[in-house]
Amino acid sequence: MEILHQYKEQHFPEAQPEDWVFPGERGQPMELGWFMKKYVRPLAEKLGIPQIHWHALRHLNSSIMLDEGVDVKTRMDRLGHVSDRVNMIYSHAGDAAQRAASELVWQKLKKAAAQPQTETEVVSLKVAGEVAECSRKVVSDVLTY
């Protein structure tokens, strides 16, 4: 907040509390297309992201907050969502969460396979285990790419 305060004092010392933080022309909100073209896209290109759209930044914001453990209510408030269902559309689990989920399924299947089973359960566990192991390898390969 201190940086924003300094920005306001340096560039807009007469600004009132109801004024825009980053005003555009004639005191109107900053034009989104101009902001994307002037600042966001050049930065994205430097990071190796050839095309980026404003809406993708909403997904990125929500996903980072999810990875950092920010609660769903706070994420909803920041993105203007009225339900957790909508918020979940914007929240994508990160690499660590994907690996952890894959490992948990694998461990559960290994534990179940070690217990006495009927012949049908053994066949089902073998198939499930093969699917889980394949999924685990795919997740690992994709995330290390």
CA angle centred on 44, ends 19 and 5, rounded to 5°: 25
For residue 138, the tally of other CB atoms under 10 A from its CB is 11
Measure the CA–CA gap between 75 and 86, rounded to whole angstroms.
11
Q: Averaged in consecutive runs of 10 residues, what is the pLDDT profile of the chain (145 residues)?
A: 81 78 75 85 85 82 84 87 77 72 74 71 69 64 49
- What pLDDT shows up at residue 86? 76
Indicate the helix (H) or strand (E) that contains 74. helix 72-79
Measure the CA–CA gap between 22 and 30, rounded to whole angstroms.
6
CB 115 within 8 A of CB 138: no
- What pLDDT shows up at residue 114? 73
Contacts of 132 (CB under 8 A, 6+ apart): 102, 105, 106, 109
Find where tokens 């559309």 sit.
Answer: 89
8-state DSSP, 26 = G
Buried b (16+ CB within 10 A) or exposed e, 38-59: eebbeebeeeeeeebeeeeebe
- What pLDDT shows up at residue 121? 67
- Alpha-carbon dihedral sign for residues 110, 116, 119, 121: negative
